[in-house]
Structure 1
Amino acid sequence: MVVAKSEACKAATVFRPASPSLGEGSWVVFWPQSIPYQSLGLLGSFTQYLVDHHHTVLRNGYWLAWLIHVGEALYSMVLCRSKGITNGRAQLLWFLQTLLLGIASLSILIAYRPKHRKQT
């Protein structure tokens, strides 16, 4: 039981949450009729124009963004190993967060500087 608790603490010390990104894109691509365009001002007008006139481009861009997120998530695993993050839970959290949030998460991992341990 002590090992599990220390592993969870170790994962928490190397994992940092990021802010969301692909949620709005999903809403625009899959449920454009439910967006309150009038309430969003100029952004709403622009979004409605894109939905009405360029929905194929939005849909293709959405799937391209997911493909890029998959690549970033795989790269996050490489970064975890190179930065000495060996805890499986921490690696999984970085992978999932980067898959969902992309560069917002990956930039935090890139900036992470592990503490060097003193050799005796």
Structure 2
Amino acid sequence: MAGADGSAFFRRTSLFWMVTVSLSVAYFTLMVFAPEKIPLQSLGVFGSFCRHLVDNYAGLMHKGWWAAFAIHVFEAIVSLRVCSNKGISNSGVRCLWFVQTFLFGFASLGLLLKYNPQRPKQR
């Protein structure tokens, strides 16, 4: 969706990034807050590694989860600033960029940063 003047530009991030980020964040959240719900013994070497992290570095993982959350909030706020700089003034579209960037991070923000609106040529 894009207006002729670029004030309503929005592109959905790719399905690959949506699935990858969603599954990764969900797995990390479960490891931090409910590791007993994950069948770690069924995941082979990866499960053993995750069990080691849960048993020995739970506090660090908890801090890492909050850091990841803060980074996503920061990226979402940056997306609003980038929208302003690129002339995206439609409030609904700006909200879409904010939510998408909060959920999928740089996979979304990267699309917005790559957007190069056509500026009218000055004589």
- Counterpart of 2:32 in structure 1 is 29
Using the TM superposition, name which of 49-58 and 23-32 deviates more: 23-32
- Counterpart of 2:86 in structure 1 is 83
Structure 1 residue 96: Cα displacement: 0.9
Aligned length: 111
Unaligned segments of structure 1, at least 5 residues:
1-5
Amino acid at match of 1:27: L
1:41-80 alignment runs, 5 A limit: 41-80=44-83
Aligned alpha-carbon RMSD (Å): 2.3
Query: What TM-score results when the alignment is normalised by the length of structure 2?
Result: 0.76
Distance 1:114 1:24 in 2: 37
Distance 2:119 2:12 in 1: 19
Q: Secondary structure at the match of 2:89?
A: coil
Q: Structure 1: which 4+ aligned runs deviate by more than 3 Å? A: 115-119
Query: What TM-score results when the alignment is normalised by the length of structure 1?
Result: 0.78
Distance 2:71 2:38 in 1: 26
- Counterpart of 2:110 in structure 1 is 107
Percent of paired sites with the same residue: 42
Unaligned segments of structure 2, at least 5 residues:
none
- Counterpart of 1:16 in structure 2 is 12
